[in-house]
Amino acid sequence: MPVLTRDEAQTRARHIDVQRYTVDLDLTTGDATFDSRTVIHFTVHPTAEADAVPEADATVDTFAELKPAVLRSVTLDGHPLDPTCLSGNRLPLTGLAPGTHELSVDAAMHYSRTGEGMHRFTDPADGETYVYTQLFLDDVQRVFAAFDQPDLKAVFDVSVTAPAGWTVLGNSIATRQDNARQQHAGQENTAQESSGQEGTGRGSAGQGSTGQGNRRWVFASTPLISTYLVAVAAGPWHSVRTEHAGLPFGIHCRRSLAPHLDADADEILGITRACYDRFHEKFDEPYPFDSYDQAFVPEFNAGAMENPGLVTFRDEYIFRSAVTDTQRQTRGVTIAHEMAHMWFGDLVTLQWWDDIWLNESFAEYMGYQTLAEATRFQDTWTSFAVSRKGWGYDADQRPSTHPVAPDAAAVPDSASALLNFDGISYAKGASALRQLVAWMGEKDFLAGINTHFARHRFANATLADFIDNLASATDRDVHAWAQSWLRTTGVDTLTPTVTDIDGGWTLDIDHSGSRPHRITVGAYDHDLLDPDALVLRERFELDVPAAAPTADGAPDATAPDTQPTRRGRRPALLVLNDGDQTYAKVRLDPTSWRTVLRSLSHTPDPLTRAVLWNAARDMVRDGQLPPTAYLDAARAHLPHETDLAVVQGVLAFAADSIADHYLAPEQRPAALAALTGLCRDLIRRTEDGNDPGLRLTAVRHFIDAATQPDSIRDWYDSEGVPGGPLLDPELRWRILHRLAVLGATDEAAIDAELARDPSATGEEGAARCRAALPTREAKTAAWEALFSHDDLSNYLFAATAQGFWQPEQADLLQPYAVAYYPAATALASRRGPAIAEAAGRYAFPAYEVTKEALALGEKHLDDADLTPALRRKLVDQLDDLRRALAVRSSNAV
């Protein structure tokens, strides 16, 4: 089916305006399809030729989009059109005269199992069914007919018929119609808590309803919003409702997760209220919608989606097992991120998909910043540095890199746009905004943002609009900044040279890259009372100009930027970008590196330690530091680390990158032994029970790195780790998966565990374990489920793929590694972008780090049948494979 091109979207926007959609969905027609009836009111403008030449034809040809199971009828201005005129996903509308028109479409639409369009899920825990929409980026046409592009905003009147006992959520306040009786959603069965806390209640309208038949829900008219932001979520939700600032707030999840939502409701709603209040301190424009619901939905592909008035989250954020405080912080960041979108994305929307960074970079920055300002989670930027910054750096060094704000020509259609929701649009873009705030000041930054909202409320805007609005608030040259930061690719590198001189020292900075940077430099000395500890001597800010271009136009990486002489002896440790306010790889001078090896864990600020660990990580990836040296540093310093985000980030890189990819197979057992030894040290350190998050992290990583089954089987059989924690479902499935990889369990044990945990997460755990069993029968069954049958949901596909490839099973897996490319290509073509992305991310044979594997993959990139989503993932995976081979080569003995 054809994708929408930018040129087509611009042409259609010149010719039509859309005023209103009336969408009526019936979710009671069966398990496979639902009914969709749409009426679109729009206006046609005459062509430019007709304006210039009176006798020219003033009519317009255009199209609407729809992907139906059955198209029953189409009516234009009261005249029926032939339904067979639908071509692919396009409904042609020809000979439209200038003026107002009405398009009516009646269709049956497919439910989805891939998280696209109207996703349908039946909970294995209790048999209850739930449906929800995910209409981003161009999936609205899977639910109702539309002129599907972001700059044709309209008012939406949505109604939904659903089974009795279901609650239906949408973008606005709903009225439920029960035969002759009408009732406002959220007013029935909402019992206030006896604690007297602000409006928190248990239950929701529609839950526990009795009687036969169906019920209709009618939602209030929305303000002007884009098609991709329309949302519906329906099912027997468990809900907690409250009111804040005069608006109804609600949080919702599957009934089987009700106890877990109730346990965290105060935290989730507390963060929601705090962020809402903080955004109203930052933004002049008030929250622009009539309600704020947050639905935690099953099998969701993204982290969350910013539908106005109804944010949808993956329901893994409803924690059914023990979690760390860092995981809670991540949930809080996501809540803040999605709320920021209510202004940047929903109130003011991009005009075309080349400006997705206007949505995502802004929300990413505001999510971390606002959570730190408004809640107890005040170290968010440490977590960002450890868990998100590397995502951006890695993406920016691959062949698939692109500018934060690419040229329009680089995003010619919606399929191309979908590929850019990556570490650049999120992590790099947020880092660029953080650097912009450091450069121009937060006061001027927010003034420019508020001007942007005022000028473009309920409309669309471009990069040029955004930069003009920022420039109006400052004397700084924001346009030049945007050109160097947003229109370029790659990661700059800042390398210090420290020179002792009489009575002082100088700092030279070699700058490889094209961007100016405003950074903070931290100077640290050894503590006189504790030589292993470091104390901050001073921090000073400096501007590092962009490297001067060479004759061929490339940035000059050789000319150092010399700073003024500083008095006193040189510091023991000099940290560029202390505070992590810019986006650049940093190196350490030799004296500082020796200090880091001795005193990293005794550096006083966790964000500084995160910057230093990132420097070591980048050196490993660039072949400048042996992977084993990183492991040695982790073994020496993590037992003393006090920031959990740092511990988690270092362990993840050590396990996923170093042990699994950067070390040769013969070195892997020693690496795993080092990791289990390190985790034992952390477990011993937490025996007093004062740091359960650190202990849980250590237990998880010990399980994943275990090479001897008995060391974790005892935990599994006794249902707990000596001294805690007791094994909850997440830990039990984690141990069973590792036992399956090691060949120390079987199908019967997996079936028994699934009987014990018959939840959706349990089904995923069982699929992961079965695929991990080291037998030909298990691998054949998993392979056929992945690539021969198309009945796995998106989550079960990912779980099966995660279990399939294991470094310990290389000989058994070799035939499948060869078969992967044609199988994945055919699968992506059949099942669409979401499964294509999963096939490239989870089902890729990343365990095989060989020149032969790289050559095979590179050859397959020439296959013309590769879908864009799969091609992009393969390009990235093969580049990671190429880097792993380079790291191994540079550190070969």
List residues with catalytic annotation. Answer: 338
Query: CB–CB of 240/202 below 8 Å?
Result: yes
Q: Count of CB atoms within 10 A of residue 75's CB?
A: 14
Q: Which of 201, 202, 199 is nearest to 245 (CA)?
A: 199
How, if at all, do strands 33-44 and 573-575 pair?
unpaired
Integer CA distances (angstroms), 484 to 109, 432, 436, 442, 516, in order = 46, 11, 12, 20, 8
Instruction: Tell me the CA end-to-end span of the chain in Å, nearest whole number.
Output: 53
d(CA 280, CA 294): 19
The C-alpha atoms of residue 444 and residue 466 are separated, in whole angstroms, by 13
> Positive or negative CA dihedral for 360, 361, 366, 372?
positive
Neighbours of 519 (CB within 10 A): 24
Q: What is the DSSP secondary-structure string of 597-615?
A: HHHGGG-S-HHHHHHHHHH
CA atoms within 13 A on the CB side of 382: 19
**Minimal CA–CA distance to 203: which of 188, 183, 218?**
188
Encoding tokens for residue 78?
């009261």
For 863, the token pair is 């296959």
Crossing angle (nearest 10°) for helices 729-741 and 760-772? 10
Could you tell me how far CA 867 lies from the centroid of its own chain?
A: 21
Q: What angle do CA 823, 828, 831 make, to 5 degrees?
A: 120
For the beta carbon of residue 847, count every other beta carbon within 10 angstroms.
18
State the SS3 of 378-395: CCHHHHHHHHCHHHHHHH
Q: How far is it, in rounded angstroms, from Cα 660 to Cα 662?
A: 7
Cα radius of gyration rounded to whole Å, the chain: 28
Gap between the Cα atoms of 774 and 379, Å rounded: 42
> Distance between CA 623 and CA 425 in Å, rounded?
26
**Which among 477, 556, 572 is positioned nearest to 514, based on CA atoms?**
556
Count the neighbouring beta carbons within 10 Å of the beta carbon of residue 49.
10
- Tokens 């202004």 belong to residue: 343
- Separation in Å, CA 590 to CA 495, 568, 593, 597, 683: 11, 19, 5, 11, 33
> Per the structure block, which two tokens stand in for 612?
């230093």
* Residue type (1 letter), 790: D
Tokens of residue 436, six digits: 């912009």
Residue entry with tokens 């056929």? 784
CA distance 571 to 590: 12
Residues 6 or more apart in contact with residue 194 via CB below 8 angstroms: none
d(CA 404, CA 886): 27
Amino acid 487 reads R
Phi, psi of 461 (to 5 degrees): -145, 160
Q: What's 141's DSSP letter?
A: G
Residue type, 883: R
**Burial class (CB within 10 angstroms; exposed 0-12, middle 13-18, buried 19+) of 831:** buried
Q: CA 768, 258, 315, 703 torsion: positive or negative?
A: negative
Is the distance from CB of 666 to CB of 626 less than 8 angstroms? no
